[in-house]
Chains A and B, each alone.
Chain A
Amino acid sequence: MQRKDWIGLFGRAKPEELQALAGHLGPMPAPDWLRPPETGSVMVRGRAGGTGAPFNLGEVTATRCALRDGEAEGHAIVQGRDQDHAARAAWLDLLLQGPRAAEVRRVVVEPLAAAEAARRHDRARKAEATRVDFETMVRGED
């Protein structure tokens, strides 16, 4: 898993889910902000006909921030308005580039990715159970 993948994974995670997993790493130190958390919106675009020219569909709330520890930088952009979530995500991004990377992968990234995959699988399974094979009936002669 590359950096863009874990930043996205943290962004899509539920705040309490990330908090619970990150709790195993001990307390988060007071952040040295490069950019303190900022909540705003991201305009979501679609494409005409699904594949054509882009248009603006609507917005989604997002929170982003960046922090540092010496030379290292941690960045985050998360869905929603929870600034603690963004700060935690940025801290984890920073740790994943340093000596604790293996531990963070094992304790946070892997369980989080597995949980997301399980959620998606569960929903897909339910959708699959509603799949229907319709048969058309021959209309009688009038």
Chain B
Amino acid sequence: MYVAAKGGEEAIAAAHSWLAEERRGRGALLDVDQIASQLALVVARVMSEGSLYDPELAALALRQARGDLIEAVFLIRAYRTTLPRLGASRPIDTGAMACDRRVSATFKDIPGGQVLGPTFDYTHRLIDFAEAAGADPAALAEAAPPLRPRVSDHLGREGLLRDEPRGDTSPPDLTREPLALPACRALRLQALARADEGFLLGLAYSTQRGYGRTHAFVGELRLGAVEVEIDLPELGFSVAFAEISVTECETVNQFTGSKTEPPQFTRGYGLTLGACERKAISMSLVDRALQWRELGEDFVGAPAQDEEFVLAHADNIQATGFLEHIKLPHYVDFQAELELIRRLRRAAAQTREAAE
């Protein structure tokens, strides 16, 4: 149920003022032209998804959004609705385009030739340390003074929240062993923490729209700095050698009980390196949907419940690797396809002629 809220003006003003300060960051202020020209591909994505071609505006939105792409797209869309419609253009003539890049994966010899343009294809994807050497990730500070205990502790004390059994076994590591299915929760959480934000967002949204509905509420969402501690056996103690920023989202979900579990709130969990609120929320919804087996729920065939579907497609590097390979030369493959189609057409024409 939606309940309207009021108040918080001062806090909101303070948040916005801090936002402005954080946004300003260090060093020279990036000018819009620098962003538009040096981060041209992200600017292009904002224009495309924002459905408004204006490189300077997209760059301005990106700077205002502190580089958060989807936030920048939102600004562009909102701005676009304020623009009066002046008319419509004639259809553009793409055949007359002055091409920066033009390649064909099906035909090697094309009139006008293959034009690679300023492409990342065929580069080695190695960081150029001469370009920006020795950059140290800026550490964020921890907010120590007021203690902020976990919200879930409250519900947990009443026994209304499904227990999250504490363990200390060493979890499996996707970066060391290939993904094996069915995956345990630890493996799933690692995969989700590495997953593409957009993909997780889509899956999470699908659960909200009814594809494996889990009735999620954000029990708690937090973002801040944590220390990273490591055991040093040679010294016989542990050291908090690093401080990192993380985002955590814990959802609580309606659960009327199953054959194996009593009615209670269940949990979904999202945790990300860095400030990634949307992703952390998405992750917690998807994590909850994937728990149907442990909770004795029915598998209703929803994509977000399908562990193999989710885990096999969540990594955008894997996905893009396979997706983009189809633009590389397939001349021989395609030639075979072409021959096949020609042969089938000849056969079809002969059959038709014979029938007439």
Please list the residues of chain A having a beta carbon within 8 angstroms of any beta carbon in chain B.
3-4, 7-8, 11-12, 14-15, 42-62, 66, 75, 77-82, 116, 119-124, 126-137, 139
Contacts and interface: CB of A to CB of B under 8 A. Distances in A.
A42 B230 contact: yes
B189 A14 contact: no
A129 to B, nearest CB: 4
Interface of B: 3-8, 10-12, 14-15, 18, 134, 136-137, 139-146, 150, 152, 164-175, 185-187, 189-190, 193-194, 225, 227-230, 232, 234-235, 237-244, 246, 248, 250, 267, 269, 271-273
A81 to B, nearest CB: 7
A57 to B, nearest CB: 5
A8 B241 contact: yes
Nearest to A51: B164
B84 to A, nearest CB: 36
A43 B171 CA distance: 11
A84 B234 CA distance: 22
A32 to B, nearest CB: 17
A3 B237 CA distance: 9
Contact of B11 (A47, A81, A124, A131): A131
A42 B242 contact: yes
Contact of B171 (A49, A54, A116, A119): A54
Nearest to B16: A130
A120 B8 contact: no
Contacts of A42: 228, 230, 241-242
A132 B12 contact: yes
B189 A8 contact: no
Nearest to A9: B240
A79 B150 contact: no
Given A57-B273, A60-B228, A119-B141, A129 B5 contact: no
Contacts of A3: 235, 237
A81 B136 contact: yes
Contacts of B174: 56
A129 B267 contact: no
Nearest to B271: A46
Nearest to B19: A130
B242 A11 contact: yes
A56 B3 contact: no
A86 to B, nearest CB: 10
A82 B143 contact: no
B136 A15 contact: yes
A78 B241 CA distance: 6
Contacts of A48: 164, 185-186, 189, 269
A49 B175 contact: no
B152 A49 contact: yes
Contact of B144 (A44, A46, A55, A120): A120
B46 to A, nearest CB: 26
Contacts of B6: 134-135, 137
Given A120-B141, A124-B144, A126-B18, A49 B243 contact: no
A53 B169 contact: yes
Contacts of A52: 164-167, 269
A53 B3 CA distance: 35
A53 B239 contact: no
Contact of A129 (B14, B242, B250): B14
A121 B144 contact: yes
The 4 A-B residue pairs whose C-beta atoms are closest, nearest first, are: A11-B241, A52-B164, A49-B164, A79-B242
B344 to A, nearest CB: 51
Nearest to A10: B241
Contacts of B173: 43, 56
Contact of A56 (B145, B175, B227): B175
A42 B242 CA distance: 10
Contacts of A49: 152, 164, 250, 267, 269
Contacts of B248: 50
Contacts of B134: 81-82
B296 to A, nearest CB: 18
Contacts of B186: 48, 53-56
B228 A46 contact: no
B261 to A, nearest CB: 15
A60 B242 contact: yes
A46 B189 CA distance: 9
B159 to A, nearest CB: 15
A54 B165 CA distance: 10
Nearest to A135: B7
B348 to A, nearest CB: 56
Given A12-B240, A124-B145, A137-B5, A130 B139 contact: no
